[in-house]
Amino acid sequence: DALVSELSDADRQERIELLIDLARNLPPLPERLAAHKDATHRVEECQSPVYLFVELEGDRVALFADAPIEAPTVRGFVSLLVEGLSGATVEEVLQVRDDLIERLGLPEILGMLRVRGLTGVLRRVKAEVTRAAIARAATPPAANGQGAASSHP
């Protein structure tokens, strides 16, 4: 919420700078996930190759992502989601408002195609969290490794 407030309160140039700063903070994918950067995990709506991975650790979401350095605004938004949603509950992630991109003021600084791509990223995060939660609920606790579930093989 603090990052959302900071971005929404910033002027146009500050918003761009904040996204670039966030882009620098996106952690690299763990090696075990990097091998699975494929069409299954790619956000199709995004022109830049963005890959998302969701795991549930107990009742908390672990979000991992990869976005190209050459697309700093996209990478910054992805980093914002990773930072803001990792450690949240499934319910908290699903309650993120669909108008987040508008609330951040991103349509003012990004083109329509980028906004469409970022909307796709947010939708995909929610869909993958839902998928992982359903998989966890359908798997007996002893079979799923202490209650862990993921949206990837």
All domains in the chain, ordered by first residue? 2-150 (3.90.1010.10)
Contact 18, 73 (CB under 8 A): no
Strands annotated E in the chain: 51-57, 60-66, 149-150
The span from the CA of 29 to the CA of 101, in Å, is 24
Query: Cα angle vertex 152, ends 97, 53, to 5°?
Result: 40
Q: Is the predicted pLDDT of residue 152 greater than 70, yes or no?
A: no
Tell me the pLDDT band of 50, cut-offs 50, 70 and 90: very high
Taking residue 93's Cβ as centre, other Cβ atoms within 10 Å add up to 22
Tell me what pLDDT residue 26 has.
97
CA 86 to chain centre: 9
What's the mean pLDDT in 48-70?
Answer: 96
pTM score of the predicted model: 0.88
Which of 123-135 are b and which e, b meaning 16 or more Cβ less than 10 Å from the residue's Cβ? ebbbebbeebbee
